[in-house]
Amino acid sequence: MRKKKQVIYSADWLAIHPYKTSATDLYYVKLSNRIFDAIEAVLDNTPFENDILALTEDEKKRLSCTLTAYFEDVISQTNIFVAFRTENKKRTGKPIPFFDCSDYEEDEINTQDIQFLIWHYYMQLNGTEIPFSPLNPLFSEMAKSVMTILDEEYETAPENKKLQEFFNIPDDIKQNIQALHTYIFWLGTESYLFQENGIFLQTDAEEIAEIAKNDNMEEQIPDMINMMCNDFTYNHVTEFHALRPSQWLARVLGKDNCLYRPLNELTRKYSGYFKYESENSTHTKFIHIATGKEIDIVNRSLHGFPKDMKDKELVLFIGFVRWMDEWWFIGQVRSYNQSNEIKKEVDNEEELHLFDDSYEPTEKEQTALFNKIMSIMAEDGPDYTDEDRAWGTMMNRDISKNFIKKAFEEGHLPKLNFEGETNNQLMKDNLNFILDYMKR
């Protein structure tokens, strides 16, 4: 029998891990290669009408590592998937969406989990622009084939002690949100649940760097990339239940952990134009120029803050988060002298709504946009189906979840189906999950 070639190596595996090396890596790299072979065999035996479902070798490698990491997570009891399953069950009564869970075994590996992760992977590859059905026969065949391998290994697979240690956060940094940034960022960009977000972020960073080079701003690239990653850490909303990475870290650590409440309640990062006002021994006061809102920043978060920027004549672009009932300075600060140009930035609509977390267009505005999308796509003729028009409204960022839900329930989106579905049942049963997934 011909020996299968190795396509996945340690570097591929470690790309979704928060450490340099572990004693169990070799085992899981070998297992990833077996899963790669299983996925490739299913793909090779699948006749494609188009190449939407085909995967490149690199995409097959990432999918194989993702499914292996899920298995490692269950074996090591690091609670990443348990956190997702627990949250989903709390919200919907089921451990995972879409699938019949009558034979589901909690805290063990399940074919449904694997098929869900395959669906999630495909959705991410296409930027959630193609409504793949979670029940797609290809995903089912892949899941069954992978499950056969994992079933064989379940009783003897080793726990990853290094991964377990990662989530044992040291006591001396538990109150410091700046120090916890590493944990939040890793979970939201490199863990197996969210690694595709990290790849998109890397692509965006490369594009920004290229633009900066063309504009002769190379010296600013590190600061620009740092700010982008920093904003992502605190502001990115994940596909799952519209929770941010910090909220998922809270759920991975568990409700008994002292960090659960602080991480769950950590605000997004509010970045805008402020002025320095005053300071005392514990706090420094900044005023948001557009709204007049006062922010008292805890001084221990201002370590390294440039002293010359504590000048009432300067306009500061700065970011803050609310952490453990205190405002903390996060990221970097830029200063500007007063000018007409900077005044336009300070007075724009976004600044006026900086602290308005629930701001969205009025129902009248959303109705007009809804009708416009539907009519424009209709005018474009047969290239757009009723399903395309329905998903076009679903994916529009200016139409809210509540508006889409109401339109669907009132029958205004009768063709809001998954690809290949002939009725709305799967959508009806999982509408809230899909709305969070698509419109985070």
Q: What is the pLDDT of residue 379?
A: 62
Q: At 2, is the pLDDT very low, low, confident or very high (cuts 50, 70, 90)?
A: very low
* Helix then strand then coil, % of the chain, to nearest 5: 55, 10, 40
Query: In which region does residue 297 sit, left (phi positive, over 0), alpha (psi from -120 to 50) or beta (all else)?
Result: beta
- Encode pLDDT of 155-210 as tens digits: 999 999 999 999 999 999 999 999 999 999 999 999 999 999 988 888 888 888 88
- Encode pLDDT of 62-106 as tens digits: 999 999 999 999 999 999 999 999 999 999 999 999 999 999 998
Q: What is the pLDDT of residue 413?
A: 87
Integer angstrom CA distances of residue 176 from 232, 283, 324, 330: 18, 16, 9, 11
Provide Rg for the chain, Cα atoms. 24
- Encode pLDDT of 290-346 as tens digits: 999 999 999 999 988 999 999 999 999 999 999 999 999 998 889 999 888 888 888
**Structure token pair of residue 102:** 């009558």
Q: What is the pLDDT of residue 391?
A: 85
Q: What is the pLDDT of residue 42?
A: 96
Name the DSSP letter for residue 308: G
The mean pLDDT of the chain is 91
Alpha helices by DSSP H, listed for 220-265, are 221-235, 245-253, 260-265
Q: Which whole number is the average pLDDT over 358-363? A: 79
Per-residue burial over 277-310, b if 16 or more Cβ lie within 10 Å, else e, is: eeeeeebbbbebbbeeeebbbbeebbeebeeeeb
- Encode pLDDT of 143-159 as tens digits: 999 999 999 999 999 99
Between CA 62 and CA 68 the distance in angstroms is 10
Q: Which whole number is the average pLDDT over 386-407? A: 86
Overall pTM surpassing 0.85 (yes/no): yes
